[in-house]
Structure 1
Amino acid sequence: MTLQTETARLDAIHQAPWLLENQSSHYRRLYRLALLVGDGAMLLLAFALAYWLRFQVGITVSPEVTPVPQHYIRLVLILIPLWLPLFSLLRLYDFHYLLGGTAEYAQAFNATTSGMMIVILASFVDPSFRISRAWLLMSWLLSTGLICGNRFLLRRLAYAQWRRSRFLTPTLIVGTNQEAMALAAKLRESVNTGLAVLGFVSTDGDDEGSMRLSALDGLPVLGNMNALPRLIQNHHVGEIVVASTALSRDQLTEVFRCVTAMPQVEIRLSSGLYEILTTGMRVTRKGDVPLMSLNRLRLDPLESFLKAALDYTLIFFSLPVLVPLFAVVAVLIKLDSPGPVFYRRRVLGVGGKEFDAFKFRTMAVNGDEILARYPQLQAELQATHKLKYDPRVTRMGRWLRRTSLDELPQLINVLLGQMSLVGPRMISPEEADEYGRLKLNLLTVKPGLTGLWQVSGRSDLSYEERVRLDMQYIRNYSIWLDLQILFVQTIPVVLQGRGAY
């Protein structure tokens, strides 16, 4: 989003915040209705397809069951009105779980499974209630897949509307410190939040202190804590995001007291470590005390499974090409210069665990001696960790780097579970200190053969820009981002050889 577009959008929001709030409320009603109608239609389609597959195609585990269409029609007419309220009880229409992350799909799976368990229980309680087991199994699988698919498509439609600045929820950020600014930047940058950040609320206790801060990062400081009720009313605020590190205990209590009397306003509390850690947090209870625990890994189990499945599937289907290519490159390296075919570089993986990353050797075995002749290049290497004109690189090595084939042996690291096809750049233990506190983020995901920094300029980028892109990838990870990087961005970059040296 350009600065001009963002400014115009904010002007429109401030001129008519009531319209934005009304749009958001109207949108939520429409979205819930679309989900409800879509879920009903998907259930009907799933049950019909299961019947067709069982009794027309003949997929079965119990051939003795005789099809009685009227029996299954009555059953479907009972199940759909029964399952939809069950879905509501299991919070499938609750906006706390909609339009963000994979929790919505997990809950859809739990809901269809619970619904099918009711049917199975009924068949045990009433012996006269006979039903095809194959129909049950296929109905469960199809209903789960179709309902998740329906929600996936509706989510894409919602994101498209948000990108057009429609149906956004007016939002205030309480706090003006570094965490508050990081929260505002992220919420404004992402098109999938559904929030329109109007500005900040200062934690200064007096109006004069608040007036000293007229704006932060292009957003206005609208007032202080004393003005919060008035700001919520005047700007028709639907959500408040609290930067917890910006408030004292008493101030935080006051915010909750103020918002408690406004049921239409959602209040969200940041972890206090947003700008430092990307892994997220979970709330558990010990006795009567709710405690927040930091997730050690950035990806949840489902995301990790999908990422690994993508890695292994692509490698498996590429083996007929990769095996001969490995052999040819190995022979060419041996013919070009003396030394081993592979080079091992000690790098950091998930959790800071060290491992050897494999590459085809691209340098002369006496590279240190060669570089010692060029003190200026040594200094450049120390500063940027890259040399555009490196005297240590062999003839074959230059070609391998230009085509990125030197990275291919890292597929072995992917198969060993140490790397992924897409991820942040791998770093050595010595280099980790240059990431500062951001190192904690980098070590929560596997490093990748390719990633945002590789497809955004590779070695032509400054070191700071590489770090920023790595953090951007980690914060915004999705399986769709991996697919985009692999198939839309990586191939053109490799073919052009841009930034490869």
Structure 2
Amino acid sequence: MPGIKGLDDATRSGKMSSPNKMLSCSDKDNLACFEISAEPGPEARAFKTQVQAPYWAKWLEWLLKGPCRTALTLGFFDVFAVSSGMMIGFAFSRMVLEREEETAGYLLFSFFFIMFLIAVFYIKENYGKLGERRPEYELQSIVTGSLIALLCIFIVDSINYKGIKFPQLSFIIAFVFSLMFIIVCRFGLRELLKTIWSYGLAREKVLVIGDNIKEIQSLLDQLHIQRYERFNVIGYLAQKPSNGSNDNLTYLGQFKDLPRIKKDKQIDKVLFAMRGYSDQRHQTLIHRLNECAKLQIQPLIISKIFNDFNVSLTLEGYSEVLTLEHREPAYLKRSLRFTKRLLDILGSLTILICSAPAWLIIILLIKLNDGGPIFFRHRLLGRNGKIFYAFKFRTMVMNAQEILKNDPELFKAFSANYKLENDPRITRVGKYLRKLSLDELPQVLNILKGDMSLVGPRPVKEEELERYGEFGAERIKIRPGLTGFWQVSGRCATSYEERMLMDKFYMYKYSIWLDAVIILKTPIAVFFGHGAT
């Protein structure tokens, strides 16, 4: 196992709240509770930790250190992105649309837009610590904040400020460019931050308090699939060493040693993971939370009581009593299902029209390669266990199945992971089609038919479903996707167990905004061939 990484299920509902704001679990968009990654295991630890961090990484760490510097850095990139978008929008309107807009009015409204945008982003806490917010929440906040700023501009225009004419069409075009640049800059910075984490910079040290090592390891394994390495779990405190511990989590002493360890190790956060929850445990927890407050250490809590995707922890509005409520999974809500299906139809039609020339070229190449069939039909499980045939451009030799059956070693390797590294059955043309995922283009027809979705869990065969255990019945409640969380998180470079965790993670975290993030990441994953065979 590469390392122990995981997910705090107590924040899955996004509703947990606390009146005194002691626990970071109270913030819906905060990652602290559910995106902690331990330091990788010995076999994976050397990938960059032994490499000297480049100067730019140290410089970026300095820029993003502290709330003031972070806010100024993010604000600078937002102003740069909007200014660039406004200039390109103005040039586009003049050169392409041949519209003669008043320069003074355009500049004035551009200035107002920047001011409104910064104010809205500040109110929406978009200038907080970079990386603490999940990417789908980040995208949602950027888009909604930008639309609010645009609405403010139209309100200003309705006042007819000193009779200055507002170039509406040109400004809307510029807004689209600005929004694109803001998203590129913000997510680009997030990727750079991940890079400097891999050099060991800007990471926060986390100490586990409690002896529930098995639960922690399961929790941290979940987080490994998110490739999130901000937090470095250095060890744990308990009455005595746990039998379930391993080399990845070191026993550092008892709770009374916390002040010393805080000083020696420079601890940033502590993660509580205790077995059971009695009145005595409650008093112990309150005492330890108070001690953490005195030491100015942020506490996080793993609670198995609330670690259920079907339960949400909410704060009753008047009495401020914490209540448990059953919640329907997002992927079962009719409104979201309708929206997702509508976007599937519009998106697949767009892809089909735009990729028509590529279809002709691919068909010609396949025919010239061996003269065999163009398409391959793959028998897969769809929504509610319905069998369907997914269309793909053929990338293997025509007797691929016979080759697999006649080679016991090859068949054994395939059965273990349902993938083969350096598969000898792939044709020369198929190799490039797979690398760029062009072999899956015909699946837009399956999307139009309703067999698949643009984004969803990866399609599986009937015999694969058994490996999912109890989760298998739930997994087939939604349509498989042309792309998905697995495809943008390593593809074939991941193990089968990781893929199952990724499918589960996507279903429980499902939202339209998560789909949008995955769609934005897909071209990058395809272009760079991340994890492709």
In which range does the TM-score fall when normalised by the shorter chain?
0.5 to 0.7
Whole-Å Cα distance in 2 between the matches of residues 239 and 483 of structure 1?
36
The equivalent residue for 2:28 is none
What letter matches 2:70 in structure 1? Y
- Alignment equivalent of 2:381, drawn from 338, 348, 363: 348
- CA separation of 1:325 and 1:167: change in aligned 2, threshold 3 A: closer
- CA separation of 1:242 and 1:68: change in aligned 2, threshold 3 A: same
- Alignment equivalent of 1:216, drawn from 236, 246, 263: 246
Q: Which moved more, 1:115-124 or 1:322-331?
A: 322-331
Provide TM-score, normalisation by structure 2.
0.61
The equivalent residue for 1:439 is 472
Whole-Å Cα distance in 2 between the matches of residues 237 and 472 of structure 1?
30
- Alignment equivalent of 2:82, drawn from 43, 61, 65: 43
Whole-Å Cα distance in 2 between the matches of residues 24 and 281 of structure 1?
40
Q: How does 1:196-215 map to 2 (within 5 A)?
A: 196-202=232-238, 207=239, 210-213=240-243, 215=245
Alpha-carbon deviations, 1:177-196, whole Å to 9, x = none? 43311233455786534111
The equivalent residue for 2:126 is 92
- CA separation of 1:409 and 1:30: change in aligned 2, threshold 3 A: closer
The equivalent residue for 1:123 is 157
**Any conservation in 2 of the 1:348–1:354 contact (CA below 8 Å)?**
yes
**Any conservation in 2 of the 1:54–1:135 contact (CA below 8 Å)?**
yes
Are 1:183 and 2:219 counterparts? Answer: yes
- CA separation of 1:420 and 1:431: change in aligned 2, threshold 3 A: same
What letter matches 2:71 in structure 1? R
- Alignment equivalent of 1:140, drawn from 166, 172, 175: 175
- CA separation of 1:29 and 1:294: change in aligned 2, threshold 3 A: farther
- Alignment equivalent of 2:231, drawn from 181, 188, 195: 195
The equivalent residue for 1:33 is 72
Deviation at 1:159, TM superposition (A): 1.6
Whole-Å Cα distance in 2 between the matches of residues 59 and 145 of structure 1?
23
- Alignment equivalent of 2:359, drawn from 319, 328, 336: 319
Alpha-carbon deviations, 1:267-326, whole Å to 9, x = none? 44458599x99x89977677664647474559x999996996697578544321355678
Gaps of 5+ in 2: 1-39, 51-60, 507-516
- Alignment equivalent of 1:170, drawn from 180, 197, 205: 205
- CA separation of 1:142 and 1:92: change in aligned 2, threshold 3 A: same
- CA separation of 1:170 and 1:354: change in aligned 2, threshold 3 A: same
Whole-Å Cα distance in 2 between the matches of residues 491 and 7 of structure 1?
20
Gaps of 5+ in 1: 12-21, 335-340, 389-397, 458-464, 494-501
Query: Which is higher, the Rg of structure 1 or of structure 2?
Result: 1
SS at match of 1:219: coil
Deviation at 1:215, TM superposition (A): 4.0
**Any conservation in 1 of the 2:365–2:429 contact (CA below 8 Å)?**
no
The equivalent residue for 2:142 is 108
**Any conservation in 1 of the 2:49–2:200 contact (CA below 8 Å)?**
no
Whole-Å Cα distance in 1 between the matches of residues 426 and 220 of structure 2?
44
What letter matches 1:197 in structure 2? V
- CA separation of 1:420 and 1:122: change in aligned 2, threshold 3 A: closer
What letter matches 1:238 in structure 2? D
The equivalent residue for 1:236 is 266
SS at match of 1:172: strand
**Any conservation in 2 of the 1:425–1:470 contact (CA below 8 Å)?**
no
Q: Which moved more, 1:211-220 or 1:472-481?
A: 472-481
Alpha-carbon deviations, 1:10-41, whole Å to 9, x = none? 99xxxxxxxxxx98983554332210222223
- CA separation of 1:364 and 1:409: change in aligned 2, threshold 3 A: same
Q: Which moved more, 1:75-84 or 1:306-315?
A: 306-315
Whole-Å Cα distance in 2 between the matches of residues 353 and 293 of structure 1?
26
More helix as a share of residues:
1
Q: How does 1:324-339 map to 2 (within 5 A)?
A: 332=372
Q: How many residues align?
A: 438
Whole-Å Cα distance in 2 between the matches of residues 447 and 58 of structure 1?
38
**Structure of greater relative contact order (alpha carbons < 8 Å, 6+ residues apart):** 2
Are 1:418 and 2:447 counterparts? Answer: no
Alpha-carbon deviations, 1:27-70, whole Å to 9, x = none? 5543322102222233333344444444576555xx7xx6252x
The equivalent residue for 1:248 is 277
Whole-Å Cα distance in 1 between the matches of residues 454 and 170 of structure 2?
39
Q: Which moved more, 1:153-162 or 1:405-414?
A: 405-414
Q: How does 1:335-484 map to 2 (within 5 A)?
A: 345=379, 347-350=380-383, 352-357=385-390, 411=443, 412-419=445-452, 426-437=459-470, 439=472, 443=476, 446=480, 455=492, 465-471=495-501, 478-479=518-519, 482-483=522-523
Q: CA RMSD in A?
A: 5.7
Are 1:157 and 2:192 counterparts? Answer: yes
Deviation at 1:348, TM superposition (A): 2.3
Identical-residue share of aligned pairs (%): 16
Deviation at 1:218, TM superposition (A): 1.8
Whole-Å Cα distance in 1 between the matches of residues 386 and 224 of structure 2?
35
What letter matches 2:277 in structure 1? S
Whole-Å Cα distance in 1 between the matches of residues 192 and 77 of structure 2?
14
The equivalent residue for 1:18 is none
What letter matches 1:83 in structure 2? L
Deviation at 1:172, TM superposition (A): 2.4
The equivalent residue for 1:498 is none
What letter matches 2:159 in structure 1? V
Whole-Å Cα distance in 1 between the matches of residues 419 and 188 of structure 2?
46
Whole-Å Cα distance in 2 between the matches of residues 479 and 442 of structure 1?
21
- CA separation of 1:190 and 1:55: change in aligned 2, threshold 3 A: closer
What letter matches 2:78 in structure 1? D
**Any conservation in 2 of the 1:172–1:239 contact (CA below 8 Å)?**
yes
**Any conservation in 2 of the 1:173–1:197 contact (CA below 8 Å)?**
yes
What letter matches 1:104 in structure 2? E
Q: Which moved more, 1:148-157 or 1:160-169?
A: 148-157
